[in-house]
Amino acid sequence: MNRIALITGGTRGIGLGIARSLAAEGYDLMLCGRRPAIEVIDVLTELGATGVRAAYQVADIAEAGERAALIDHTRDTFGALHVLVNNAGMAPRVRHAVIDATEASFEEVLRVNLQGPYFLTQAAARWMIDQQAGDASWRGCILTINSISATVASLNRGEYCVSKAGLAMATQLWAVALAPHGIPVYEIRPGLIQTDMTAGVASKYDAMIEQGLLLEPRWGTPEDIGKAAAMLVRGDLPYASGQVLTLDGGLTLQRL
């Protein structure tokens, strides 16, 4: 039986890059998102053509009931879970300066980017621990896709930065909590990745890249993140639970 990976936001952008990489590793996939199922048929067909099973559940991870339904659907469809990839997230609908930010935006972004993955991890971890108790050969891991915004301040999307800083601590908390069970927890912290989320600011960062913003003068790709995720899921980076893998082309490296 193939191992099973649940990837939130797994039908486009970084999530799809990860889904493609894990499909290549032979993982059956449960993907979720807020789009109607009819809109992701092509993605499921593409992934299924690699020889794995790919399923989709409409789920807003900000909602407790929908998180529970996602776990239940994964259990009913595959009967097991080995890998959770917390990838789904959102930017503020309107970018306001910190001094003008609204509580409604702050609450929405934190519910999606922090509260959702925190409690989805809780539910997945409980199931993983039960599986391990029933099968000594079971092994798994949890991977959170964060952002350099966990430590880099952007004054026009403060709620996003706060959510990502909280997510970084969540990774550490879950790494400590799951260490006695041998379940590693990792964080990937991407920089500028070419996705639909960054399309609106592409021209701004194209110019900054041209001016030397990065050590590697190009946008990152979902495939870059997918390769890193596959490495962690395979266990190619042992003795490293709780660690952060920063893939930002050198953006956050301090230089004089």
Segment 238-246 shows an average pLDDT of 97
pLDDT at 56 over 90: yes
Q: Are 29 and 55 in contact (CB under 8 A)?
A: yes
Segment 57-74 shows an average pLDDT of 98
Q: What is the spatial distance between Cα 251 and Cα 11, in angstroms, rounded to a whole number?
A: 27
pTM of the model: 0.97
179-237 pLDDT per residue, tens: 999 999 999 999 999 988 788 888 999 999 999 999 999 999 999 999 999 999 999 99
Instruction: Give 191: exposed, middle or buried? Use CB within 10 Å, 0-12, 13-18, 19+.
Output: buried
User: How high is the pLDDT of residue 201?
Assistant: 84
